[in-house]
C-alpha cells in the first residue's frame, strides 16, 4: 500500500477541499486489509490487549514527544481531521472546511452534540482554547507544528476560523495528530501536574481511560456516546475494553501474543516475521511506513559532535545494507539515508549518498579534525536484546574506521530526557515513527531551535529552504526545496545519521477483526471487534 500525501500540492489541495470535504467519514478509513466487510454482521463486546514496545511519558498532547504516547491518544482523543491508510486527509471532529483563495485562512465547521468524557461540551471555544494552548504555551512541543498560525477566532459555537501568517502547505496534516487533538479544558485544569500521567475523562474519543499503571498497563472502556459509525452503519466502537501494555523485550512481547495474553502488537522483531507469517492462528500485515531509524548526535557547543566532520565520519563508515539484513530488522524495511521516506511523494529514489561504506573517507575526516582518534558513547535503550545487538553491529562497523564507540544502556525515557535537554555526550539510538507530510519528518528536527531538534543543529541555509518549502504553492517546487535542504543536513553538514526506513507492522490473533494497519504504525481501535 503506497501513501500519497495529498497536502503536498497546496493549490491542488484547496481545489480538492472545496468539493470533497463535506459530510462525515467512516472512522479508520474502512480500507484495512483485515477490516470486516461493510455488509457483515459484527459482534459487539469483548476485550483486546495490545502490546507496545515501551512505556509512555505523557498523555498530554501538548507535552508528548514519544511515538508510544500516541497509542493511548488515538483511543481517548479525537482530532480535527484524520488520515486513511492510503494517506487521504478526512473530516473527523471538523465535518468540513473551506480555504481562502490566498491559502491563509481555514474555516472549520465542527460536529455538534459532541461531549468530552467528563461531560463538558466540545465546541468552537474548546477548539480555540486547545489550539492556542498548543501554540502559545511556553515549552509546548507543538509550537513548531503550529508556528504559522496567527489567530484562532470563534465564529459561532460550531465554526472556528484559523488565520495563518503565510500560506502553509502542511497545515491540515498537522491537525491529524497531537496538534489537532482536542482535550477537555476542565480535565486539564483539574488534573494539574498529574494530568500528564492521569488524563482521565479528558477526550471525546471512542474509549475512556479508566486505569493507568506505569510500566504495566493502561485500561480503556468503551465510550457509549461516541459519534462514529462503521461503513455498514453500526455504532462504534465494538469492543467493551482495550488494554495497552508496554513490553520492552521483543521475544517476551511475541510470547505474550502466542500464548494469548496479548491479542495484537505493532512491534515484531524481524527474525520473528517468517514464523508469524506462517502461523495459521495469526494475521500478519506489513506495509511501507513513514518512519526512519537514526542516531542523534549532540551538536551543542562544547560537545564532541559540535564538529560536523565527526558526524559525517560516523555516517559514511556505516554499512547500511548489513545493518538492515543482519540487525534486528532482518530485512524488514528498506535502507535509508535521510528523513524523507519512500511513502512521501517528495522522496527521491536516486538519493543514495552513502550507498557503500567509505572507511578511508571516514578516517580522513577524523584525521582532518586533528584531535586524534574519535571515541564516543552511544546511549541504547535497555530491556531489548535486539536493540543491543544493533548497537554492537554498528560498533563493529565503526571499528573498521578506527572509531571507538562505547555502548551504555539506559531506560528509554531517560535517554529521551537527556536528548531533549541536549545533555547526551555522544550519540543516541532513537527512531521516528513518521508523519503524513514530509514536513513532519524534517522541519522540527533540523530547524534551528525547534522543540524536536534534539541534536541542537543549526544551519541558516537549511532554515531558509525549509521556510520556503512551507509556503511553496507548487508541488514540484516544494519537493525541490526539501531535497536541496536534505542534501545539506544529510551530507554537507549532517544533523543526524539516518540508516533505514521503517515498515508498518500489525500482528493480530485470528479472531481479531477490523484492525487496519496504517503507515504511521499507530493502532486505531474503534473498528476492532472479536469474532464470536
Domains 6-263+511-530 and 288-503 share a fold: no
Distance, in Å, from the CA atom of 202 to the CA atom of 130, rounded to the nearest integer, reads 12
Confidence class of residue 319 from pLDDT cuts 50, 70 and 90? Answer: very high
Cα–Cα distances (Å) from 254 to 101, 247, 283, 373, 531, in that order, read 52, 9, 13, 41, 22
pLDDT of residue 55: 94
Confidence of residue 144 (pLDDT cuts 50, 70, 90): confident
Q: Where are the domains of the chain?
A: 6-263+511-530, 288-503
Residue 188 C-alpha cell reads as 486539564
What average pLDDT does the segment 492-503 reach?
Answer: 97
The domain made up of 288-503 has a fold known as: Dipeptide-binding Protein; domain 3 (3.10.105)
Would you state the pLDDT for residue 25? 40
* CA atoms of 278 and 275, how far apart (whole Å): 5
> What percent of the chain is predicted at pLDDT more than 90?
88
Terminal CA-CA length for the chain:
29
The residue assigned the cell 471512542 is 206
Question: Collapsing DSSP states into helix, strand and coil, what is residue 464?
Answer: helix
Question: Coil, strand or helix: which one is 122?
Answer: coil
Identify the pLDDT of residue 321: 97
Strands 217-222 and 207-213: antiparallel
> Do residues 201 and 115 touch, judged by C-beta distance below 8 A?
no
> What pLDDT digit, counting tens, does each position of 184-214 carry?
999 999 999 999 999 999 999 999 999 999 9
Q: Does 40 score more than 90 pLDDT?
A: no
CA distances from 95 to 17, 20, 161, 354, 441 (A): 12, 11, 14, 46, 27
Fold held by 6-263+511-530: D-Maltodextrin-Binding Protein; domain 2 (3.40.190)
Q: Which neighbouring-strand residues pair with 523?
A: none
For residues 64 and 178, give the distance between their C-alpha atoms in angstroms, rounded to a whole number: 8
The C-alpha angle 497, 500, 506, rounded to 5 degrees, equals 135
DSSP 194: G
Amino acid at each position: 500500500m503506497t501513501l500519497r500525501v495529498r497536502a503536498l500540492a497546496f493549490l491542488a489541495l484547496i481545489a480538492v477541499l472545496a468539493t470533497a470535504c463535506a459530510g462525515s467519514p467512516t472512522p479508520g478509513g474502512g480500507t484495512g486489509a483485515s477490516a470486516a466487510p461493510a455488509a457483515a454482521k459484527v459482534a459487539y463486546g469483548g476485550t483486546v490487549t495490545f502490546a507496545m514496545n515501551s512505556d509512555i511519558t505523557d498523555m498530554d498532547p501538548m507535552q508528548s514527544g514519544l511515538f508510544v504516547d500516541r497509542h493511548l491518544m488515538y483511543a481517548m482523543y479525537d482530532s480535527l481531521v484524520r488520515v486513511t491508510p492510503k494517506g487521504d486527509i478526512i473530516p473527523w471532529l471538523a465535518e468540513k472546511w473551506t480555504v481562502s483563495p490566498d491559502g491563509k485562512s481555514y474555516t472549520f465547521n465542527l460536529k455538534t452534540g459532541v461531549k468530552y468524557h467528563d461531560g463538558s461540551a466540545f465546541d468552537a471555544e474548546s477548539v480555540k482554547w486547545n489550539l492556542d494552548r498548543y501554540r502559545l504555551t511556553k515549552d509546548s512541543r507543538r509550537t513548531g507544528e503550529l508556528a504559522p498560525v496567527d489567530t484562532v477566532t470563534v465564529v459561532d459555537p460550531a465554526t472556528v476560523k484559523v488565520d495563518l501568517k503565510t500560506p502553509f502547505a502542511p497545515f491540515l496534516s498537522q491537525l491529524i495528530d497531537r496538534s489537532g487533538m482536542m482535550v477537555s479544558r476542565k480535565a486539564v485544569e483539574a488534573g494539574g501536574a498529574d494530568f500528564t500521567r492521569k488524563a482521565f475523562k479528558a477526550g471525546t474519543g471512542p474509549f475512556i481511560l479508566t486505569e493507568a499503571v506505569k510500566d504495566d498497563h493502561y485500561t480503556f472502556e468503551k465510550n457509549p456516546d461516541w459519534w462514529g459509525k462503521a461503513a455498514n452503519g453500526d455504532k462504534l466502537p465494538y469492543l467493551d475494553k482495550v488494554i495497552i501494555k508496554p513490553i520492552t523485550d521483543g521475544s517476551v512481547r511475541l510470547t505474550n501474543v502466542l500464548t494469548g495474553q496479548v491479542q495484537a502488537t505493532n512491534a515484531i522483531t524481524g527474525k520473528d516475521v517468517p514464523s508469524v507469517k506462517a502461523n495459521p492462528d495469526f494475521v500478519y500485515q506489513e506495509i511501507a511506513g513513514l518512519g526512519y531509524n537514526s542516531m542523534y548526535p549532540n551538536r551543542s557547543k562544547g560537545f564532541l559532535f559540535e564538529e560536523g566532520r565527526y558526524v559525517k565520519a560516523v555516517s559514511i563508515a556505516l554499512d547500511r545494507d548489513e545493518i538492515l539484513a543482519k540487525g534486528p530488522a532482518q530485512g524488514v524495511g528498506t535502507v535509508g539515508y535521510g528523513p524523507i521516506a519512500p511513502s512521501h511523494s517528495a522522496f527521491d529514489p536516486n538519493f543514495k549518498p552513502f550507498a557503500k561504506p567509505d572507511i578511508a573517507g571516514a578516517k580522513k575526516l577524523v584525521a582532518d579534525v586533528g584531535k586524534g582518534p574519535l571515541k564516543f558513547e552511544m546511549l541504547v535503550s535497555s530491556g531489548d536484546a535486539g536493540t543491543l545487538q544493533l548497537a554492537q553491529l554498528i560498533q563493529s562497523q565503526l571499528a573498521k574506521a578506527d572509531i571507538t564507540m562505547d555502548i551504555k544502556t539506559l531506560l528509554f525515557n531517560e535517554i529521551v530526557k537527556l536528548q531533549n535537554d541536549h545533555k547526551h555526550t555522544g550519540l543516541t539510538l532513537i527512531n521516528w515513527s513518521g508523519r503524513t507530510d514530509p514536513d513532519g519528518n524534517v522541519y522540527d528536527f533540523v530547524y534551528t531551535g525547534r522543540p524536536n531538534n534534539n541534536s541542537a543543529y543549526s544551519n541558516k541555509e537549511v532554515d531558509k529552504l525549509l521556510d520556503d518549502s512551507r509556503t511553496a504553492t507548487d508541488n514540484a517546487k516544494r519537493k525541490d526545496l526539501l531535497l536541496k535542504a536534505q542534501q545539506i543536513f544529510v551530507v554537507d553538514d549532517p544533523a543526524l545519521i539516518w540508516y533505514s526506513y521503517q515498515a508498518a507492522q500489525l500482528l493480530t490473533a485470528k479472531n481479531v477483526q477490523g484492525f487496519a494497519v496504517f503507515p504511521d504504525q499507530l493502532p486505531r481501535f474503534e473498528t476492532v471487534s472479536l469474532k464470536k
